[in-house]
Amino acid sequence: MTAPTAFASVSALVRRETSMVYDEGKEYLVEARLNPLAAAKGLDLEQYVARLAFDADERRKVIDALTINETSWFRDHTPYQAFTDAMLPPLLEERSMTRRLRIWSAACSSGQEAYSIAMLLDQHLPAGWEYEIVCTDISTQMLERVRAGKYSQVEVNRGLPATSLVRYFTRVGRDWEIAERLRERVTVKHMNLAAPFPMLGAFDVIWLRNVLIYFDAETKADILRRMLPMLAPDGYLLLGSSETTLDMPADLTASWRRDQIGRVPAYRRASAMTLSRTGA
């Protein structure tokens, strides 16, 4: 950015509103995401940042722009393979009475993760089973996109198999719309992970991938601490490939246990793993 004070101002705004950290060295990213907003107002970047002090609408746009994470269909592939091959079988056995699964896609962005999971559940759940995927994000703009379930050609080209495109999408103008039967399984809720969680109930699998890297250590620990009771006793927490609980405070390392699920490390409540080892 052209002025260190402008970057510092934006960084402070984002941290205050979301607890996300933009350290020095990320000026290029902030500039790239805010330049279109500034241009839309006929301002240069410094003028636009100055305007944020008294323009709440633009502040919300900035928060949206800087909290949108990169996403794609079946990102990194192996977590989805582990989900269907190693997590679903025991969950189906344990939930045979209720015949219902609940999944949380935290920081869902524009919904590719959630709908990737929905496609897998549509293919792998036995007849008569129900499922719900709760999508949460701090960006209202992204949540509207999840609700709409519409994606551009460029977006569907990022990781979506051709067979899934044919099976689950319909061409609507220049976009692709995901099947209504999948959209109706997705519940959208506005939420800031760094703030107190609303009442969401317990989940069988929580997808919190590539999110914690944006927070400082204290906020990461707080999020993981509050997620513990949100996970079913025998559920799974999935983090990004570069994320871990190993550097967390002692109470968290004692509460969460890393378990190798297929080719993917997953995190589980320590009490559940203790029970599984004792056969209780």
Which of 75, 102, 137, 209 is catalytic? The answer is 137
- Decide: 21 and 215 in contact? Cβ < 8 Å: yes
3-state secondary structure labels for all residues of 243-276: CCCCCCCHHHHHHEEEEEECCEEEEEEHHHHHHH
33 flagged as catalytic: yes
- Antiparallel, parallel or unpaired: β 186-190 and 169-172: unpaired
Which of 15, 16, 23, 33 is catalytic? The answer is 33
Nearest to residue 83, comparing CAs of 116, 109, 131, 106? 116
Tokens of 220: 């990461």
H/E run at residue 104: strand 100-106
**Residue 114 and residue 143: Cα distance in Å, rounded?**
12
Scan for tokens 């402008």, then name that residue: 6
137 flagged as catalytic: yes
Helices (H), 125-216: 140-148, 153-156, 162-168, 180-183
Catalytic residue set: 33, 137
